[in-house]
Amino acid sequence: MNDKYILTAESVTEGHPDKLCDTIADSVLDACLQNDPAARVACEVMATAGKIIVAGEITAKELPDIPAIVCRTVRETGYGSDYEVEVITHDQSGDIAGAVEAGSQLGAGDQGIVYGYACSETPQLLPLPVVLAHRMTLLLANARKTGTIHGLGPDGKSQVSVEYRDGRPHRIAAIILSCQHSEGTIMEELHREVTQHVIAPALRELSPDRNTELLINPSGRFVLGGFEADTGLTGRKLMVDTYGGLVPHGGGALSGKDATKVDRSGAYMARYIAKNIVAAGLAEKCTGRCSEDTLKRAVREVFDLTPAGIIQTLGLGRPIFAQFCNYGHFTHQDAPWEQTDRVEALTDACGLRKQVVASGR
């Protein structure tokens, strides 16, 4: 890679139509797991003006009140209730169920390709553009909820471009922030308030300079938002959910799936492993302090990578998913896959613990 380059990541608020569909799907999943930790759920949501459809395969001891979950989630996100809810679900396929529950070993509900990533660039062990983009949309949502900025709607989106030099963040190249607003909003005032209450605090590590391109609502009017403006669908914000497009993604969506779907649970486990490797000082990004073979052996020694092992290690039979659905699945420091509690075990397995402790890392 060149010594000078730009990396860009984006985020959306919880009121973005695709993200709201993700939240509904994960809220349905949580409701199923609340009464049945072994529930099998593959829930999809599509929403457009006047209609929200929840469909998929659900096998659980008790089917939750899905229309009530939809209405509560939409209301808590900041929208009204002028829509029809249709639910179309059936049990998980017997063929799939038989493979998952085969013998004494818990199997996977599907195949999947997953990537785990971490880097020492930020305290979150994520690339800086990813952290800044999510922080911006979170602050935008908080400004709406607290009334710090009047007239904001729930829908919104951010994009941050960071210029790197010699592999490290150097300056903010460009910022795009689009926010839904009420009729009659004076755009000059909105720009000033968003700059003061969202952009400035979000970019505290690396402030914009006089050459930073700043675009607030560049398309102009943004009164209609959410399902009234755009059709929402689960699984359309994969890069927002993971690494901002800066790291490969296997293609499987995360929300609405129980943990036997390894394109979700495996992605969490891969992030957990990568984060612990970087936190242990065994690697900064891709180049490590020990050989790949050593790291591979250490990972297999420390982590149980079977579907059952992943679920048990991360506690994925619990109803915890909706709370981590928005602003990136890997930015929530209290998520089980974001813990760095395997650092000592990894350094021991690599034969480096004494060296790491002695260096103060």
pLDDT tens readout for residues 155-193: 999 999 999 999 999 999 999 999 999 999 999 999 999
- CA 353 → CA 35, 54, 289, 297, 304, distances in Å? 42, 50, 12, 16, 21
Amino acid of residue 135 = R
Instruction: Give percent of the chain with pLDDT exceeding 90.
Output: 80
pLDDT for 356 beyond 50: no
- Tokens representing 226 are 């959410």
Task: pLDDT band for 104, please (50, 70, 90 cuts).
Answer: low
Q: Residue 361 above 50 pLDDT?
A: no
The model's pLDDT over 321-350, given as tens digits with 9 standing for 90+, comes to: 999 999 999 999 999 999 999 999 999 999
**pLDDT higher than threshold 70 for residue 358:** no
Query: Predicted confidence band at 96 (pLDDT cuts at 50, 70, 90)?
Result: low
Nearest CA-CA partner of 126 in 275, 288, 317: 275
Q: Which residues contact 323 (CB under 8 A, 6 or more apart)?
A: 332
What the block records as the tokens of 316 is 């994925």
Task: Provide the pLDDT for residue 171.
Answer: 96
- Spatial neighbors of 137 by CB under 8 A, at least 6 apart, are 11, 12, 13, 156, 157, 158, 327
Is residue 43 within 8 Å of 325, Cβ to Cβ?
Answer: no
The torsion angles phi and psi of 199, rounded to 5 degrees, stand at -70, -50
**Quick check: 134 pLDDT over 50?**
yes
Mean pLDDT of the region 217-221 = 90
| Residue 353 pLDDT > 70 | no
How much is the pLDDT for 109?
Answer: 62
Q: What is the pLDDT of residue 292?
A: 85
pLDDT of residue 181: 96
Residue 108: pLDDT band by 50, 70, 90 thresholds? low
Is the pLDDT reported for residue 54 higher than 80? yes
Q: Name the pairing type of β-strands 213-216 and 51-59.
A: unpaired
Residue 130 has pLDDT above 60, yes or no: yes
Has residue 230 got a pLDDT over 70? yes
Q: Are 153 and 181 in contact (CB under 8 A)?
A: yes
Mean pLDDT, rounded, for 240-265:
92
pLDDT at 65: 97
Return the exposure string of 275-289: e unless at least 16 CB atoms fall within 10 Å of the residue's CB, then b: bbbbbbbbbeeeebb
- Mean predicted confidence (pLDDT) in 296-305: 94
> 95 pLDDT band (50/70/90 cuts)?
low
Determine the CATH number of domain 4-12+128-224: 3.30.300.10
Tell me how far apart the terminal alpha carbons of the chain are, to the nearest angstrom. 28
Rounded (10°) CA dihedral 232, 236, 238, 240: -40
pLDDT tier for residue 128 given thresholds of 50, 70 and 90: very high
Share of the chain above pLDDT 70, in %: 91
Of the listed ranges 54-58, 112-116, 137-141, 341-345, the one predicted with least confidence: 112-116
